[in-house]
Amino acid sequence: MDKKSWSNVTEYIDSFPKEVQAKLRSIRDLITSLVPEATEQIAYDMPAYKLHGKPLVYFAAFKNHIGFYATPTGHEAFAKELSKYKQGKGSVQFPLKDVLPLDLIERIVLFRKNEQDIKAKKK
């Protein structure tokens, strides 16, 4: 888990212990299945997904949690459900010791996708 620059998301995920890799892969698989047209890359030293050239979501592993970043709008829309997790502006921390709330992550990703799709159609 040494901080370094990764050239792709697979390299990033593979740099973590096996149990963390499984959680990261589940988030990646969820995002890519829900938004296959999203561009996957490394940005800010973490996996990042863009849609219509704009940030969709990011995620990252840390010592005790996985950070999930859906910009402020994704977190604002799900504030009640995210309230049980430690948060920052536009971020939430899912403890590594807990099961990932994949259903909630799915709804947030779909919310952000819809948001991006609407903005793209207005242009």
Total H helices, total E strands in the chain: 5, 6
DSSP lists the bridge partners of residue 43 as: 46
- In a domain, residue 1? The reply is no
The domain of 103 spans 9-115
Output the domain CATH number for residue 95.
3.90.1150.200
Q: Does 51 fall in a domain?
A: yes
Say if 3 falls within a structural domain.
Answer: no
Per-residue tens of pLDDT for the chain, all 123 residues: 445 679 999 999 999 999 999 999 999 999 999 999 999 999 999 999 999 999 999 999 999 999 999 988 899 899 999 999 999 878 999 999 999 999 999 999 999 999 999 988 887
What Cα–Cα distance (Å) separates residue 123 from each residue in 52, 61, 73, 116?
A: 11, 35, 20, 11
- Residue 122 domain-assigned? no
Indicate the SS3 state at residue 88: strand
In a domain, 43, yes or no: yes
β-strand partners of 48? 41, 58
For residue 121, tell me if it sits in a domain. Answer: no
DSSP-derived letter for residue 7 is: S
Considering the domain boundaries, does residue 93 fall inside one?
yes
Sheet arrangement for strand 65-69: 39-43, 46-51, 54-61, 65-69, 91-95, 86-88
In this structure, what token pair is assigned to residue 8? 């792709």
Q: How many domains does the chain have?
A: 1
The CA distance from 61 to 30, in Å, is 16
78 in helix, strand or coil?
coil
